[in-house]
Amino acid sequence: MTDLNFLEKLLAASRGNDSLLCIGLDPDPVRMPVDDVLTFNRAIIDSTQDLVCAYKPNLAFYEALGIEGMEALSKTVEYIPDGIPIIGDAKRGDIGNTARAYARALYETYGFDAVTLSPYLGHDSITPFLEYRDKGVFVLCRTSNPGSADFQALKVLGAAGEGEGERPLYIEVALRCREWNTSGNIGLVVGATYPGELAEIRGLCPEMPILVPGIGAQGGDLEAVVRYGGDAQGERLLVVSARQVLYASPGRDYADAARREALKLRDQINRYRAGR
């Protein structure tokens, strides 16, 4: 495959596998039916690679295991087929000099195609990531957790386009990201638990990819996510599932069970997509 930027790679994988499903590779030793993280991840990848548009390892699960966990992460990234984009769920956000080191670590050392970032420190904390123009950035906008409203729903005086006046902070984040998206490599993270906000954000950012966690264990409405989250072509949407797929079975048939669950989710998403 020729070199593609993140969005091109995402669309190619999504169309090739007819999928909007992104599997979160979040190994939990308490729930894994095997002892070795890499063995577990490889089995999941082998059983689902034709059903996904991306994989999303959450770095916390690997960092918690120390050096061995980070080695497993690196080998997992190497194992994923070249045509499938990999999103490093790192939620980084720091001052420019530190952000440059984070960007180098995540893009160059670990080889992620995209990463998740916090916008709290502002544009200069995101710029070092945007300078990797072939890579993707997903900025936390309206997250799926109950406490997200503590800050994200606060009314602020808007300054980024769409006129002035009060609006929720998550809308200001979306508008700022739209303004910063000069290289077409910014996406947003919007939780499945807020379908109304998802529709609003998609309306403001019609061409940006949106990463949507929160279905399954967190109770998000899958049909609403597909209806409101896709672009005009029903694309540029990544529906994340982790625990629902990874731990579909507690036994040695976990990889087969993961495939069945992933296939069911992929096909369910496509049915909803066809009915948009």
pLDDT above 80 (res 86): yes
What do you get for the CA distance between the two ends of the chain, in Å? 32
Tokens of 120: 């709290």
Q: What is the pLDDT of residue 218?
A: 65
Q: What is the pLDDT of residue 65?
A: 97
91 is catalytic: yes
Asked, for residue 1, whether it belongs to a domain, the answer is no
Asked, for residue 189, whether it belongs to a domain, the answer is yes
CATH, residue 159:
3.20.20.70
**Contact assessment for residue 212 and residue 198, using Cβ atoms and an 8 Å cutoff:** yes
**pLDDT-based confidence at 162, cuts 50/70/90?**
low
> What is the distance between the alpha carbons of residues 23 and 198, in angstroms, rounded to a whole number?
20
Q: What is the pLDDT of residue 67?
A: 98
Residue partners of 220: CB distance under 8 A and separation at least 6: 144, 191, 192, 193, 195, 212, 213, 214
User: Which structural domain range is residue 77 located in?
Assistant: 6-274
**pLDDT-based confidence at 1, cuts 50/70/90?**
very low
Tokens of 177: 């990201």
Mean pLDDT, rounded, for 199-212: 97
Q: What is the pLDDT of residue 177?
A: 97
**pLDDT-based confidence at 195, cuts 50/70/90?**
very high
> What is the distance between the alpha carbons of residues 54 and 69, in angstroms, rounded to a whole number?
21
Q: What is the pLDDT of residue 217?
A: 64
Asked, for residue 20, whether it belongs to a domain, the answer is yes
Backbone dihedral region for residue 18 (phi beyond 0: left; psi -120 to 50: alpha; all else: beta): left
For residue 222, what is the enclosing H or E element?
A: helix 222-229
Q: What is the pLDDT of residue 163?
A: 60
Mean pLDDT, rounded, for 138-154: 93
Please give the tally of structural domains in the chain.
Answer: 1
Mean pLDDT, rounded, for 46-65: 98
Mean pLDDT, rounded, for 182-193: 96
Mean pLDDT, rounded, for 38-53: 98
Asked, for residue 153, whether it belongs to a domain, the answer is yes
Out of 9, 56, 75, 91, the active site residue is: 91
Look over the chain and give the mean of its residue pLDDT values, rounded to a whole number: 94
Residue partners of 222: CB distance under 8 A and separation at least 6: 192, 215, 239, 265, 268, 269, 272
